[in-house]
């Protein structure tokens, strides 16, 4: 049986507990054994090297050196990593090794909660199968991203809220390798209710399962 660890906490505005409950339900339905933790000390546990998947939901906050080293080594060794929005790509802002693993870091969301469009960048990838461009209402994340990411979905900035970024096409979802580990990230999902958007949830659930290490 595949095994997963969800580590949640950090800034409460991203509703980490509610999002963790959604992931826990999905993972159980998809045949995983699941455990959860609410402290970053879970990343220092040697047993995480045996997992199939780790899901971080920990906006901002701090990660200790030993926790980070163990986490990155686990992913380099083949453990999958998947997550969404600031819970993954705005966690541990001062930990550049973490950002190197994730493949991106949030830097802005001009206009805060706005309406925008998510476009499919790689319709042939199984994660995106059957998904068309869709309207979305949330924070439109402006990211610093790794050019080695395989980009699955994008959004284009209108410039309404920051004129100098008009026309910028920004990755919304990507997958990548970090050592032997598969990494998936979606910038969607400011609050748990956004998981009710079919396209968002489909991308996230498929990406999570893609990232998980094979048994």
Q: For 164-202, how does the pLDDT look when each residue is reduced to its tens digit (9 = 90+)?
A: 999 999 999 999 999 999 999 999 999 999 999 999 999
Residues of the chain with pLDDT under 50: none
The whole-number pLDDT of residue 215 equals 79
How many angstroms separate the Cα of 19 from the Cα of each of 74, 142, 172?
23, 22, 18
Query: Which DSSP letter does residue 39 get?
Result: S
Tokens encoding 122: 């790689």
Q: Which residues contact 108 (CB under 8 A, 6 or more apart)?
A: 141, 142, 162
Give the bridge partners for 37, in sequence order: 7
Taking the model in full, what pTM does it have? 0.97
- Residue positions counted in the chain: 215
| Cα–Cα dist 29/41, whole Å | 27
Give the bridge partners for 135, in sequence order: 117
The whole-number pLDDT of residue 38 equals 98
First-residue to last-residue Cα distance in the chain: 7
Phi, psi of 41 (to 5 degrees): -60, -20
Give the bridge partners for 155, in sequence order: 170
| Cα–Cα dist 74/47, whole Å | 9
């Amino acid at each position: 049986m595949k095994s997963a660890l969800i580590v949640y906490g950090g800034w409460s505005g991203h509703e980490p507990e509610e999002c963790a409950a959604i992931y826990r339900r999905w993972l159980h339905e998809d045949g995983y054994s699941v455990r959860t933790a609410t402290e970053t000390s879970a990343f220092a546990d040697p047993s995480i090297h045996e997992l199939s998947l780790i899901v971080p939901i920990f906006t901002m906050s701090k990660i200790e050196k030993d926790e980070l080293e163990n986490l990155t080594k686990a992913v380099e060794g083949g453990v999958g990593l998947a997550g969404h929005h600031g819970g993954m790509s705005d966690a541990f802002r001062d930990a550049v090794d973490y950002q190197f693993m994730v493949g991106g870091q949030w830097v802005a969301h001009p206009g805060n909660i706005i309406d925008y469009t998510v476009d499919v960048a790689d319709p042939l990838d199984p994660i995106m199968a059957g998904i068309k461009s869709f309207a979305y209402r949330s924070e439109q994340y402006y990211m610093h991203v790794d050019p080695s990411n395989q980009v699955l979905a994008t959004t284009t900035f209108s410039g309404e809220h920051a004129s100098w970024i008009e026309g910028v096409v920004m990755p919304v979802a990507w997958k990548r390798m970090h050592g032997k580990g598969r990494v998936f990230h979606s910038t969607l999902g400011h609050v748990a209710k956004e998981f009710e958007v079919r396209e968002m949830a489909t991308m996230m659930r498929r990406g999570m399962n893609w990232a998980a290490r094979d048994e």
